[in-house]
Chain A
């Protein structure tokens, strides 16, 4: 274990360098996914008929294994970080759209009416009322997307050392150094837990009106009746807690 942080030269990075690379490859796609998910979710809230087909499409996209996604993209984006980040952004989008739609929809009609009565236009009503109330649901989605993204970056190792901390795995194998694989798994797991914790903190900061210990019961109550929902709706909880 004394060579735990002694990384082979072909990785071309120090341990901290790999961590930075890993965070970039994992978090930028989540951010991109969030930026794309917000307008898509808003459209789905505005036009209810749009939601089932969007959900169907995203479910199919989500079912595609990441490695296959990477390999097909190589032709267009080369063996680059971008090839790893595009699928991760898509997976994040898939997790976030239902989370945001459910969050925004959960805003009570009376609240909206009150906002309108206060003279808020649709844009301000969305930014100042709907979005803040949806924050817990959005953060719940972000947690799932972030943890899964951090885990999946490692698979990028297979397309020419684009897996940041995952690249350690190949070297552990070819140079017979198991400690490098332990390093990869532990570091990745710790990053995921820290990112998850940071998002929980963020939610506490953004929603001071919420009781400190909850945030889940609302989701449980919703998920508890999959049979009254359409089959497409039933797919939503299946996408949660994902970390392939």
Chain B
């Protein structure tokens, strides 16, 4: 009798759990949505606010053209997302052409946006393609805080090379992946000959990096050039005369078999309208005016006649 009660309890628990799992919804089950075989386009994003915003912009533009879209936001670093694109787990990812090139080919130093796209395309895995680049640029940078700028007499016309003597006394911060990237510590060493005192792993140009630079826990950091906090906190972005951070146009990277002509056209139409000023405006709405990225994306698409 007791075991009967135990069996009933167990069965009830199992039923409850089964109930939970079916109520979880179909579209968000990552296992079913893994391959984009049923015409659903999976739009992914990296783990920083601008990437999530751009995924919304491109994704909503696809939706407006009647494409079925599923989002996979906040995945992680390029080191992870590139692999997911390669195996088709995600179909579209807003990329930055120069950073992607540095990831694929450490030595490349193209002189134009078109050359960057060509160089990336030559190195891409077979099923991947870059669509048209947008004029919008958002670069990684070496940015110093106000105190450091004052101490070493750095202004917005100073270059990264001017840190040569100071670097050994400075802690530089950035995302964990900055530590091993060409567009990171490696490039700063090989291209500019900079050897920093140490590296502090923070996040991809996000709140940790902003706060650490402000509090002088790091004296220099990798911030994005579209970061609204740069002007707010009087940070100084150093010039990059040797073009380590290259061209950084927003450019969708796609898994070709998952996207048809209609989708490609929709994404290219967005890229044609997106310039740096627009991107900065959208970033500011999300990062300092507390607006939801999806709403910001929809409003912008509407104002541009894209949705």
Contacts and interface: CB of A to CB of B under 8 A. Distances in A.
B71 A79 contact: no
Given A79-B75, A161-B74, A174 B48 contact: yes
A161 B75 contact: yes
Interface stretch (A9-17, A41-49, A216-224, A235-243): A9-17
Interface in B27-83: 28-31, 34, 45, 47-49, 52, 56, 71-76, 80
A187 interface: no
B207 A173 contact: yes
A128 B3 contact: yes
A161 to B, nearest CB: 5
A178 B99 CA distance: 32
B153 interface: no
Nearest to A75: B83
Interface stretch (B13-21, B177-185, B248-256): B13-21
A21 B2 contact: no
B56 A24 contact: no
B206 A173 contact: yes
A195 to B, nearest CB: 11
A80 B6 contact: no
A144 interface: no
A28 B73 contact: no
Contact of A20 (B23, B34, B72): B23
Interface residues of A, number: 39
Interface hub of B23, B73, B75, B89 (most chain A Cβ within 10 A): B73
A61 interface: no
A96 to B, nearest CB: 14
Nearest to A130: B3
B24 interface: yes
A31 B13 CA distance: 9
A17 B49 contact: no
B72 A132 contact: no
Interface hub of A27, A160, A205, A206 (most chain B Cβ within 10 A): A160
Interface residues of B, number: 43
Contacts, number: 102
B5 A78 contact: no
| Secondary structure call for the A interface | helix
Interface stretch (B109-117, B128-136, B287-295): B287-295
Given A10-B71, A174-B48, A159 B76 contact: yes
B3 A80 contact: no
Nearest to B29: A81
A82 interface: yes
Contact of B20 (A23, A159, A175, A202): A23
Contacts of B48: 174
B2 A206 contact: yes
B305 interface: no
Nearest to B291: A175
A82 B49 contact: no
A234 to B, nearest CB: 31
B108 interface: no
A193 interface: no
Contacts of B89: 78-79
B277 interface: no
A206 B5 contact: yes
Interface hub of B30, B31, B49, B287 (most chain A Cβ within 10 A): B30
B63 to A, nearest CB: 13
A8 B2 contact: no
A205 B30 contact: no
Interface in A78-127: 78-82, 127
Given A131-B6, A174-B49, 5 more contacts: A10-B52, A10-B71, A74-B80, A170-B74, A173-B208
Interface of B: 2-3, 5-6, 9, 13-14, 17, 20-21, 23-25, 28-31, 34, 45, 47-49, 52, 56, 71-76, 80, 84, 89, 206-208, 286-287, 290, 292-295
23 contacts: A10-B45, A10-B74, A12-B28, A12-B73, A20-B20, A24-B17, A24-B24, A31-B17, A74-B80, A79-B80, A79-B84, A80-B31, A82-B31, A132-B2, A159-B76, A160-B74, A160-B76, A160-B80, A167-B74, A175-B286, A175-B287, A202-B9, A206-B6
